[in-house]
């Protein structure tokens, strides 16, 4: 991309930002606006120099095409009034520049946030195409699977229940939650799926997650659960040969390790024994046996821990029943292998990246940090 195109993006941002009402940031001082613009310029220059702006999405368009679309096309009606375009533009640029900032806020969208972070890191052009489709014109976009993802959120203003989740992540995750259960609408305000008038709760069960994951990535993923392991053991007790059945307890850590060595990640559901309710003043004050989706990044055999990305982006240890180390403020955590294995209840992985034969023939060696 030429620097002229970068200047065009910044110029369009300037023109929008100068007439932005209400202010896009609290205080709305000139110094704050200039700081925002400078950070945006740094992010765009970095994306340009790395070649990322020229990466192509599943339709052959570049990432910069999606950014230009945001600055020039008609927005979906709820976002048409400023500061909609301005806010969406800079939040998308920053999400692509630094995907670690993506999180679930105080909503039960850990599964959708994991997919969003994965896509923004692995396929930023496709991520930008999806966001641009959700916020422009009809508010919908075709995914790699050929299925439609529809915008299900019409609010951009900050809210305490969103915590640090930015507006683009709110839009992306709410659309994912709506798609995952075709017959149950999702309401982001109350953070729940509805069966008629009944709020059946938040979060995604494994079949809904798998449906969403395959539609977004266009890849085949295999899911294993503790229930599969229990059934295999039961069949084995009747003499059925089950040694070739992938078992989350026996093979889970090896799957994470083999995937990481091939630059791939694994989605894991941990069952958290107990944790304080993250919603202030909500009942009950303590939640028990709560499922939580994370992205398993790698296995550190030297220190006997699994590194993972927690979409809560916690600033401290926030659940009981396992040791956990925080490595940064963006959700990079680690946990002893034994604790991680004990808490794993579900796992989604790319089957081509795991073979038990490879694990048996070439035992995993310690990784250097």
Indicate whether 266 belongs to any domain. Answer: yes
| Residues in a beta bridge with 294 | 268
Same domain, 122 and 155: yes
**Residue 214 domain-assigned (yes or no):** no
Q: With respect to residue 276, please indicate whether it lies within any of the assigned structural domains.
A: yes
Task: Tell me: pLDDT of 244 over 90.
Answer: no
Whether residue 242 sits in one domain with residue 169: no
Task: Tell which of 208, 240, 262 closes a domain.
Answer: 208
Domain that holds residue 315: 222-361
Q: How confident is the model at residue 364 (pLDDT cuts 50, 70, 90)?
A: very low
- Shared domain check, 193 and 61: yes
pTM of the model: 0.91
Mean pLDDT in residue range 8-17:
72
Q: pLDDT tier at 28 (50, 70, 90 boundaries)?
A: low
Q: Do 204 and 226 belong together in one domain?
A: no
Please tell me whether residue 68 adopts helix, strand or coil conformation: helix
> Is the domain of 291 the same as that of 334?
yes
Tens of pLDDT along 158-178?
787 788 999 999 999 999 999
Assigned token pair, 27:
């205080």
Is residue 12 located within the same domain as residue 113?
Answer: yes
pLDDT band at residue 278 using 50, 70 and 90 as cut-offs = confident
DSSP letter assigned to residue 77: G
Give the model's pLDDT for residue 238: 62
Sign (positive/negative) of CA torsion 89, 59, 170, 256?
negative
Per-residue pLDDT, averaged over 326-354, amounts to: 97
- Say yes or no: 204 and 229 in one domain: no
Residue 363: its pLDDT value, please? Answer: 46
Same domain assignment for residues 199 and 149:
yes
Provide the domain count of the chain.
2
Mean pLDDT of the chain: 89
DSSP helix, strand, coil percent of the chain (3-state; round to 5): 45, 20, 35
Q: Is the pLDDT of residue 365 over 60?
A: no
Q: Considering 208, 240, 275, which residue would you say is the last residue of a domain?
A: 208
Domain boundary among 151, 173, 208: 208
Query: pLDDT tens for residues 226-242?
Result: 886 776 666 566 666 66
Indicate the length of the chain as a whole number: 369
What is the pLDDT averaged over residues 346-356? 94
Q: What is the DSSP letter of 148?
A: E
pLDDT at 161: 78
């Amino acid at each position: 991309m030429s620097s002229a195109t970068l200047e065009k993006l910044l110029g369009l941002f300037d023109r929008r930002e100068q007439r932005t009402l209400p202010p896009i940031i609290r205080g709305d001082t000139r110094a704050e606006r200039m700081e925002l613009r400078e950070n945006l310029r740094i992010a765009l220059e970095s994306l340009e120099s790395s070649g990322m702006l020229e990466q192509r999405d599943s339709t052959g368009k570049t990432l910069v095409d999606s950014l230009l679309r945001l600055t020039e096309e008609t927005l979906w009606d709820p976002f048409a009034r400023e500061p909609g375009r301005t806010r969406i533009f800079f939040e998308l640029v920053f999400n692509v520049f630094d995907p670690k900032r993506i999180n679930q806020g105080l909503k039960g969208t850990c599964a959708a946030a994991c997919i969003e972070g994965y896509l923004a890191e692995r396929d930023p052009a496709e991520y930008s195409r999806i966001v641009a489709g959700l916020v422009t014109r009809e508010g919908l976009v075709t995914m790699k699977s050929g299925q439609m993802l529809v915008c299900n959120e019409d609010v951009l203003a900050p809210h305490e229940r969103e915590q640090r989740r930015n507006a683009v992540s709110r839009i992306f995750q709410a659309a994912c939650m709506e798609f995952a259960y075709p017959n149950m609408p999702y309401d982001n305000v109350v953070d729940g799926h509805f069966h008629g008038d009944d709020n059946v709760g938040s979060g995604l069960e494994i079949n809904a997650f798998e449906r969403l994951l395959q539609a977004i990535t266009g890849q085949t993923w295999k899911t294993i659960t503790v229930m599969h392991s229990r059934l295999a053991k039961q069949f084995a007790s009747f003499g059925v040969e089950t040694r070739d059945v992938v078992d989350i307890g026996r093979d889970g850590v090896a799957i994470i390790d083999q995937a990481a060595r091939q630059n791939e990640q694994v989605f894991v559901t941990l069952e958290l024994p107990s944790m304080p309710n993250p919603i202030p003043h909500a009942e009950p004050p303590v939640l028990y046996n709560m499922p939580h989706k994370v992205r398993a990044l790698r296995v550190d055999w030297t220190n006997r821990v699994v590194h993972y990305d927690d979409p809560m982006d916690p600033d401290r240890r926030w659940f009981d029943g396992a040791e956990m180390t925080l490595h940064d403020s963006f959700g990079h955590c680690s946990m002893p292998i034994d604790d991680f294995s004990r808490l794993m209840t579900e796992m989604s992985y790319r089957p081509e990246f795991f073979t038990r034969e490879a694990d048996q023939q070439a035992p995993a060696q310690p990784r250097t940090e």
